[in-house]
């Protein structure tokens, strides 16, 4: 396009920056398309009545931004979109190691399939920027119902809500069923998120004694009699942090107690979609007492901030919608549209299967490196629960592991009943590669040697 002339150069910025901005602006507007040759530098300088070096600097600036490419003897050509398709290092490096993160997809074919879903989002972008229902559109709730069916859940659609993540959902539920000063039961060692949420609502958590199968039914009965609780919170599959999974028989015992005493259950099924054969949700045995939360953070991706929630009754679902509207307005329509597309085209299930396989591989690495140490783990868990040897404290290990690429969280964050044990949750997921995970675990082995100085 030998006759291209930049417009709006009187912006107050240096002239070479204004020309580079004009190139970007015309690419965005479609006036400059990929492969178009820009005017020779001297010709454009003469047309604008400016020095040749100013145009040279402008083309150089545009090239640095990735908008054009120059070839000696041929000229300067437009590369196309002003949006870079390369990963942004500033975003790629973000990750909170205090969270229990799933392994991130690395398979090129799966990544390409995930990116295809963005085409659907892009085609519906304007509509997705509007305010929408606080519990999702009918299509999104139908996708949720389809996804929940993998856990044996087939509720009526008027009990299903697409919600903005498990945390927001639990907050909304507590706003409905509790008042400040109320008591809620949970595991003695439990998910720290529910501790934080309960504290903000003035709800007292009472931890229940556990064995290898989860909370003890006898402890639950005693607490119901002694505490008069408003609800019970459980994370019964691959429990965070202990990795315990409550077996079917124990779930049936708990469900029978819930029905007999009409006690509300908040069932946090964050990890239930990961194992190939997880026990059925407690909600199936006590549907009228259970708020079932099938979060997507662990089985698809935390950045979606979505959960699929089943309310005990349609009336409860209505109350949830009103609470969510007050607290969060709505789940992100962009995230809902992408997730629904992924469920419908099979991408979501492929992500889930990748996470399942990769978490098992990482557990294998941990078992190999930490052989001889006392820890609890499960095949598809994203973490392990490490008991420290005598003479080693949580503070010792935290200090020694501060710069490692794996998450190390002390038992204090999880303990509701009794003194925190000398134990740590060790994260195996996130962006860390298998090789770097192995290195980090090897450092953990050194960090747990008594009387060792790591300075």
**Structural domain includes residue 192:** yes
pLDDT at 31: 87
Same domain, 267 and 290: yes
Domain's final residue, options 298, 330, 345: 345
Same domain, 307 and 361: no
Q: Which two tokens stand for residue 116?
A: 């295809």
Domain's final residue, options 345, 370, 388: 345
pLDDT along the chain (455 residues), means of 10: 80 87 87 90 92 93 89 86 67 80 94 92 93 96 97 95 98 98 98 97 98 98 98 98 98 98 98 96 98 97 96 98 97 97 96 98 98 95 96 93 92 95 96 95 94 59
**Structural domain includes residue 88:** no
pLDDT at 270: 96
Same domain, 341 and 355: no
pLDDT at 83: 62
Domain's final residue, options 345, 365, 400: 345
Estimate to the nearest angstrom the gap between the alpha carbon of 183 and the chain centroid. 29
pLDDT at 30: 83
**Structural domain includes residue 215:** yes
Same domain, 127 and 211: yes
CATH number of residue 246's parent domain: 3.40.640.10
What's the pTM value of the predicted model, to 2 decimals? 0.83
Q: How many C-alpha atoms does 376 have within 13 Å on its Cβ side?
A: 16
Do residues 307 and 170 make contact, with C-beta atoms less than 8 angstroms apart? Answer: no
pLDDT at 256: 98
Same domain, 65 and 122: no
pLDDT at 454: 53
Same domain, 359 and 334: no
Separation of alpha carbons 271 and 213, rounded Å = 16
Same domain, 37 and 176: no
Q: Give SS3 for 426.
A: strand
CATH number of residue 24's parent domain: 1.10.10.10
pLDDT at 85: 62
Same domain, 205 and 329: yes
Same domain, 213 and 291: yes
Residue range(s) defining the domain that contains residue 119: 108-345
Do residues 27 and 17 make contact, with C-beta atoms less than 8 angstroms apart? Answer: no
Same domain, 174 and 291: yes
Q: Which two tokens stand for residue 3?
A: 């006759």
Which of 282-288's residues contact partners 24+ apart within 8 Å by CB, and which partners?
Answer: 282/234, 282/236, 282/251, 282/254, 282/255, 282/258, 283/153, 283/310, 284/152, 284/153, 285/251, 285/252, 285/255, 285/256, 285/259, 286/255, 286/258, 286/259, 287/155, 287/312, 288/259, 288/312, 288/313
Q: How many domains does the chain have?
A: 3
pLDDT at 81: 66
**Structural domain includes residue 96:** no
Q: How far apart are the first and last CA of the chain?
A: 63
**Structural domain includes residue 67:** yes
**Structural domain includes residue 98:** no
pLDDT for 241-300, tens place per residue? 999 999 999 999 999 999 999 999 999 999 999 999 999 999 999 999 999 999 999 999
Q: Give SS3 for 333.
A: helix
**Structural domain includes residue 100:** no
Same domain, 284 and 353: no
Give the β-pairing of 183-187 and 204-208: parallel
Same domain, 167 and 187: yes
**Structural domain includes residue 87:** no
Residue in 340, 358, 360, 275 with CA at minimum distance from that of residue 107: 358
């Amino acid at each position: 396009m030998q006759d291209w002339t930049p417009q709006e150069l009187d912006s107050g910025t240096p002239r070479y920056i204004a020309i580079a901005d004009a190139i970007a602006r015309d690419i965005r507007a479609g006036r400059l398309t990929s492969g178009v040759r820009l005017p020779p530098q001297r010709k454009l300088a003469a047309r604008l009545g400016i020095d040749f070096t100013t145009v040279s600097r402008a083309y150089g600036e545009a090239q640095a931004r990735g908008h054009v490419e120059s070839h000696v003897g041929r000229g300067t050509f437009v590369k196309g979109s002003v949006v870079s398709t390369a990963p942004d290092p500033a975003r790629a490096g973000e990750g909170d190691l205090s969270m229990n993160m799933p392994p991130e997809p690395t398979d090129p074919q799966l990544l390409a399939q995930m990116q295809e879903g963005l085409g659907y989002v892009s085609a519906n972008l304007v509509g997705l920027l509007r305010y929408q229902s606080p519990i999702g559109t009918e299509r999104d709730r139908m996708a949720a119902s389809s996804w929940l069916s993998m856990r044996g859940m087939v509720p009526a659609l008027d009990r299903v809500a697409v919600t903005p993540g498990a945390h927001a959902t639990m907050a909304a539920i507590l706003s409905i069923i509790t008042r400040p000063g109320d008591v809620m039961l949970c595991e003695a060692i439990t998910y720290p998120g529910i501790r934080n949420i309960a504290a903000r609502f003035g709800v007292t958590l009472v931890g229940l004694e556990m064995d290898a199968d989860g909370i003890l039914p006898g402890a639950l009965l005693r607490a119901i009699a002694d505490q008069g609780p408003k609800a019970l919170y459980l994370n019964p599959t691959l429990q965070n942090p202990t990795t315990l999974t409550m077996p079917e028989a124990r779930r049936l015992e708990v469900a029978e107690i819930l029905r007999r005493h009409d006690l509300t259950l908040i069932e946090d099924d964050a990890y239930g979609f990961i194992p190939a054969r997880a026990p059925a949700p407690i909600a199936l045995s006590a549907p009228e007492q259970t708020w079932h939360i099938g979060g997507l953070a662990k089985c698809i991706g935390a950045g979606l901030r979505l959960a699929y929630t089943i309310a005990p009754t349609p009336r409860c679902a209505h109350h949830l919608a009103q609470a969510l509207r007050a607290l969060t307005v709505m789940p992100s329509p962009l995230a809902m549209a992408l997730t629904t597309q992924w469920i419908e085209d099979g991408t979501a299930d492929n992500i889930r299967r990748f996470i399942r396989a990769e978490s098992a591989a990482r557990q294998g690495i941990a078992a190999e490196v930490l052989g001889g140490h006392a820890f609890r783990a499960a095949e598809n868990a994203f973490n392990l629960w490490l008991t420290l040897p005598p003479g080693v404290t949580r503070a010792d290990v935290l200090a020694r592991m501060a710069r490692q690429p794996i998450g190390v969280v002390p038992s204090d964050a999880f303990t509701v009943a009794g003194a925190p044990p000398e134990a740590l949750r060790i994260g195996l997921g996130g962006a860390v590669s298998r090789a770097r995970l192995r290195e980090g675990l090897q450092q953990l082995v050194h960090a747990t040697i008594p009387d060792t100085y790591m300075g």
